[in-house]
Structures are given as C-alpha cells and as structure tokens.
Structure 1
Amino acid sequence: MTEDGCHFCDQQARFRKADVYIENDFCIFFAAMRDHELRAEAGLPPDVLPGSGAIIPIAHRTSPFNLTAEEWTATHDLLVKAREALHELLAPDGYTLRWSDMTGLHAHLHVIPRFHDEPMWHQGVRSSINVPENRRPDPWHPGIGRHSRKL
C-alpha cells in the first residue's frame, strides 16, 4: 500500500541506491554517506554525520502508532542490522533514534550515528544532522566504538 505524492513511497527505488541499504518484508533502511545528491534530497549537508539514515515502513503509515505488530518486529530487526552495518563502517560512539510522526507524512525512524568529537553532540536531532557547524574534524574517521559489544 503506497500513497501517491508521498516522498517516501515515491522514492523507495531511489533509496535502494543508497550507500547502505537493508530491506525486509515490511520496511527498509537507507543511509546516505557519500551520495551527496541523496543527502541533499534528505536535507542533509554533505559530510555532516555521514551514515545518518532512516527506517521506513514499506506500507504508507502516517504514524508509528499505526504500525502492525509485524512491522514493529521488522523495524526492530532492521534497527539491529543497521546498527551492525553502521558500526562496521563508522564505529560510532552511540546513536540517536527519533520517530517522525507528523500529520500526513510517512512515518520513519531516524537512525543517527553519534561521535565523541562531534561539535553539537549534546544538542537535538535536527541540529545534529542539518547544521553544517556539526561537521566533525574528519567526518570519515571512525569513532572510538564505545558500542562495539554485541547486543
């Protein structure tokens, strides 16, 4: 079930071309790292927290409160796989997770890797991924991997 005119429904084929892409029967995860065009489409400045991505239900859901039990389980499964992929690539020091539940928009879960040398590590989600001043000294340098333990 998709919704015409919904960015997340309409762009799922584009998301499949992201630097990191994982899919199951109910949702997708994509993270734009070096794909500057996709980062720009998502409103992300280049080199600010590479690896920031989202888990999106394949079916058009306007709220996480509308997810089925199967979609919740699939979201969790994808979140664990996304964490493993991002940790292998970037060794973040932690993650910020935030659901977007805005009227009329496709619900999605932001998955944002966080780093000890990030200038705005203590500020909210929007400033962390959208503000050029939050660029790390070397955006591609791995973190110290404080979350390297298996779950």
Structure 2
Amino acid sequence: MGKCPFCNFKGDSMAKVVLENKHCIYMQFHNHNLKGKGIIIPKKHKETVFELSKEEWQATYDLLQNAKKILDKEFKPDGYNVGWNVGEVGGQSVFHAHLHVTPRYSDEPFKGKGINYWLKSSENTRKSSN
C-alpha cells in the first residue's frame, strides 16, 4: 500500500505517534482545533473496521484505554467522541481503518453535540426509503 498515508506511519508535520503496540498505533494531531485529537490505526492495511481481526480489536481497545489516560492527564477534556467512519458515504476519506478519538471541552461552540447530532437533523432525511 505505497500510497496509503497510514501504512508505516512514523510521524510527520501533521501528527506524531504517541502510543504503539504489536498491532496498532495511536497518533495525535499537532494543530487540531480540539487539543489532543488523535486516531488509532491498525498497522496492517485494513480498509475498514469490519476487516479487523480479534487481535487488532483487542489492540485497539488497549490503546484506547491508554490514550484516554494520557489525554485526561495532559488536556483534561470534559468528554469524548470516539468513532469509526466507514465508506465514502459514511465520511471515510482515508481508506485505511482508523478510530477517531476526539476530546471534547465545555467551552467549545458545539459542546453537547455528539456524533449523531448532524445525522439526526431533518436536513439529513432521505428523499426515498429505497
């Protein structure tokens, strides 16, 4: 997967690797508007979360728990959004599975609006049920 930006990721001007285990890495973005925002990525190229092995799921869980400890200590967020985007329609823009770990803060304009806020809006009602 030579063109995949997440395969063999070691860090760059946009993000740094903070945690790593046998199957996954947790990288944190340098200049995100929500301090501490990061993603957990399987080391093996898997296009979506539905392709992960049990070992990769466990490794993702382990990194998520450790990332939360670091984020709680360093940034003291008031909440979190954690989620996967799958497929172009689902919002996936890089086709290498990655779990978004987004600290949330009580002083941000969209506080209290979770992942489903925009999905549930009347503007998102399908034009047909087929």
TM over 0.5: yes
Secondary structure in structure 2 of the residue aligned to 1:123: coil
Number of paired residues?
110
**Structure 2 CA distance for aligned equivalents of residues 70 and 13 of structure 1:** 21
Question: Which of 19, 29, 54 is the matching residue for 1:69?
Answer: 54
**What TM-score comes out, normalization by structure 1 length?**
0.65
Deviation at 1:91, TM superposition (A): 1.0
**Structure 1 CA distance for aligned equivalents of residues 41 and 81 of structure 2:** 16
Look at both structures and tell me which one has the larger radius of gyration over its CA atoms.
2
Q: Where has structure 1 moved over 2 Å in runs of 4 or more?
A: 17-20, 122-125
AA aligned to 1:106 is H
User: Deviation per CA, 1:98-131, whole angstroms, max 9, x where unpaired?
Assistant: 1022267001000000111111123355xxxxxx
Query: Where does residue 98 of structure 1 map in the other structure?
Result: 83
Query: Where does residue 81 of structure 1 map in the other structure?
Result: 66
**What TM-score comes out, normalization by structure 2 length?**
0.75
In structure 1, the gaps of 5 or more residues are 37-43, 126-151
Query: Where does residue 21 of structure 1 map in the other structure?
Result: 18
**Structure 2 CA distance for aligned equivalents of residues 120 and 98 of structure 1:** 17
Query: Where does residue 99 of structure 2 map in the other structure?
Result: 109
Give identity over the alignment, percent.
Answer: 41
Query: Where does residue 8 of structure 1 map in the other structure?
Result: 6
RMSD, matched Cα: 2.3
User: Deviation per CA, 1:69-107, whole angstroms, max 9, x where unpaired?
Assistant: 000000000000000000000111111011022267001
